[in-house]
Amino acid sequence: LGCSRFWYLCFSWMDVFLSIIFSYCLLVHPIFQLLQGSYSFFNCSNLWGSACLCSFYCIKIANFRNRFFIYLKIKIDRMVPWLLLGSVVLSLIIGILVYNTVDKAVGKNLNFTCQESLQKATIGIEEHFFPLYFLTGFLYTTSFIAVIFSAVFLLFSLWRHKHKMQTNSTSSLSMEAHIRAMKSIFSFLVMYSINFVCLILTIIYTTKKENIMTLLLYTYL
């Protein structure tokens, strides 16, 4: 998760700076295609890796008496490697789709000799990207919902356990540990929500060619 986050930030900032400062570098094949494909791959793997780990901690730590939840608690250790592998495969598919879409749009619309053709290629890329914008938005929303539900269930379980500890007069050290855990989960939920909102706004402002606003949104990703 740390590696995917690191490379996601590297490729996102590289893409922004090249598009604003050294835009002609993007005309060299296949720099633009590789940047977009790699950015999409690491972004998707980062989001789905966070969602898988958040769901894992919720199932392992939370305490509910539901039969399905107990079944998941027993099987989660075996499921997590497959979930992470599935998130990597899904991210790889998204990266390949983005690479092929950009490559087709550039190859169809781009003439490497004039600046006007670059603007035409940008319009062509946006037309090709509308289905991918919908797909990536759906994936962002799905991972966000998984994180929201996992964090809320875990917070509720910890809060209920802390309430029982208060009634049983448990030591203050255990109470402080539970309070710190709840604060950490809540702060993660807030940061993930901000990241999700910025990702959706980035998609919107990218289609509207608001480069300055896109750059500002990238600072929060």
Q: d(Cα 93, Cα 98) in Å, to the nearest integer?
A: 9
Helix-strand-coil split of the chain, %, nearest 5? 90, 0, 10
pLDDT tens digits, one per residue of 110-125: 544 444 444 444 545 5
Name the packing angle between helices 115-167 and 67-109 (round to 10°).
170
Residue where the block lists tokens 């993660």: 188
Q: d(Cα 84, Cα 70) in Å, to the nearest integer?
A: 21
Query: Would you mind telling me the total number of residues written for the chain in this entry?
Result: 221
Reduced to 3 states (helix: H, G, I; strand: E, B; else coil), residue 169 is: coil
pLDDT tier at 192 (50, 70, 90 boundaries)? Answer: confident
pLDDT tens digits, one per residue of 124-149: 555 556 677 777 778 878 888 888 88
pLDDT tier at 103 (50, 70, 90 boundaries)? Answer: confident
pTM: 0.73
Q: d(Cα 73, Cα 186) in Å, to the nearest integer?
A: 22
